[in-house]
Amino acid sequence: IPVEDFDLVIFGATGDLARRKILPGLFRRFVAGQMPEAAQIIGAARSEQDDEAFRAETKAAIVEFGGVKKGDDDLARFLQHLHYVRIDAKGEGGWKELKAKMRKGAVHAFYFSVAPALFGDLAERLASHSIADGESRIVVEKPFGRDLATAKALNATLRKHFEEQQIYRIDHYLGKETVQNLMAVRFANILFEPLWNAQYIDHVQITVAETVGVGGRGSYYDTSGAIRDMVQNHMMQLLCLIAMEPPYHFDPNAVRDEKLKVIRALEPVEATEIVRGQYQANGDGKGYVEDSENPATRTESYVAMKVRISNWRWQGTPFYLRTGKKLRARTSEIAIIFKEPPHSIFEDAQTSGEPKANELVIRLQPNEGMNLKVMIKEPGPGGMRLVQVPLDMTFADALGPEGADMPDAYERLIMDVIRGNQTLFMRGDEIEASWAWTDPIINAWENSKQRPEPYDPGSSGPDEALGLMHRDKRRWREIR
Ligand code: BG6
């Protein structure tokens, strides 16, 4: 079903994000029949080129990143929706041309796929040239600030010209199908919610492991590190969706109110509850120091931490978070580890050394799906032997081809902007609260003289991270 007619302006349309994600994502929505016939995608950037050159460039990007064949008919038709305007973010060049292209009656969305330093200039000129109005939507990307002060300043800049309900702050993790499924699993089933608290859940593990290093973007990453790059945003969002109270309705502010309460209830993280790591060089693979080209760097390419939520639901149930580059496997998952039954009636039964606690594992990528581990009797005449088996629901198996063909996060989110649905976007106060919690963690480290723990590429991270769990008589799940 097509969405409402729209004019989408992409500032920074020749940049990496537009080429890798935004334009291929729009193409896939076009193929899915969601793009209205008159819809326009207007690329705006500094370089001098015409519509045809922009179309050719976009075509190459879609072939490279969208897995499409060059001669594809759909692609030729899609490219007709594209236009280009050379724009000067800091000057007056191009704004009149842009205004002339915008159609009355269509939804107007402006995607700021540019450095945050330009947000103010773009917002200012969209307003002064009367291109944007109270109905327009703007889309901004991470990094949304590098601490509380800069995030507040960015919010203030945007709010000078736009209302909160016009601002769509992207965290692409919220666009991932399984992340949305978290809410469906929790709030559309009776099974889990009664058990979803400290009385029944021993702890939660959230893992986002990557195999890639930071090569190629080392200079950005070195000013960021895993906490700013992944924890403050993506992992925080995952944590919120697991920990939040049921919103009264699946409505943008109802959902975001509940997430905000979780962030505000986070306890400060002690220095002893966090482990930072840096991957070392091995063989001909470069280490983090070489990738960042900064011999003195103390930036973490890995972090593991224990997070506590100070409220009734979660008192005594820690959330362990870990994320890192150059690890053994690319895998993102949330594991809910339940408590063991309070009393075993099978005391004499051999349990083949199996763990006895139920586990619900939600896999975000790859092989999106869920897996619930339950105890059963091992079949056969050998007495009451217990064994743990998975109730496996890999979406691709359970839902057929549609389950395997999940839209990319960006596709979903851009269409939500056009539909005017902010549920999967971060509100300004949420981001600020998240930085308010993250800032002291980062400051404590910057004021210390400590160095990150080295770890081997292809490993599960530094050994010290194991200690974080062992101390609590728990174990990380294997990264595989
Ligand atoms: C980005 C980070 O926001 O998310 C990257 O800047 C990271 O460092 C990426 O690699 C991970 O996203 P995904 O969708 O591949 O899990």
Q: Give SS3 for 304.
A: strand
* CA 267/CA 306 separation, integer angstroms: 10
Ligand 1 mean position to 26 CA, how many Å? 20
Q: Which residues are catalytic?
A: 234
Binding residues: 12-19, 46, 142, 172, 176, 210, 229, 325
Angle at 174 between CA 215 and CA 358, to 5 degrees: 100
Residue whose CB lies within 8 A of the most ligand 1 atoms, among 230, 303, 331, 364, for a mutation test: 230
Is-contact 277 455, C-beta < 8 A? yes
Which residues in the chain show pLDDT less than 50?
A: none
The structure tokens listed for 232 are 């403050």
Query: What pLDDT is recorded for position 401?
Result: 62
The structure tokens listed for 449 are 């003289």
344-392 pLDDT, tens digit per residue, is: 888 766 666 667 899 999 999 888 889 999 999 888 887 888 889 999 8
Model pTM score: 0.95
Q: Which atom of ligand 1 is nearest to the CA of 217?
A: 8
Ligand 1 mean position to 312 CA, how many Å? 33
Query: What pLDDT is recorded for position 349?
Result: 65
* CA 298/CA 276 separation, integer angstroms: 9
Ligand 1 mean position to 15 CA, how many Å? 17
Query: What pLDDT is recorded for position 346?
Result: 82
* Residues in the chain, total: 480
Binding residues for substrate: 172, 176, 210, 229, 325
The structure tokens listed for 326 are 């150059």
Query: What pLDDT is recorded for position 76?
Result: 93
* CA 54/CA 61 separation, integer angstroms: 10
Q: Which atom of ligand 1 is nearest to the CA of 221?
A: 8
Count of CB atoms within 10 A of residue 290's CB? 15
Query: What pLDDT is recorded for position 405?
Result: 66
Phi, psi of 437 (to 5 degrees): -80, -35
Query: What pLDDT is recorded for position 343?
Result: 86
Which residues have any ligand 1 atom within 6 Å of their CB?
142, 210, 229, 332
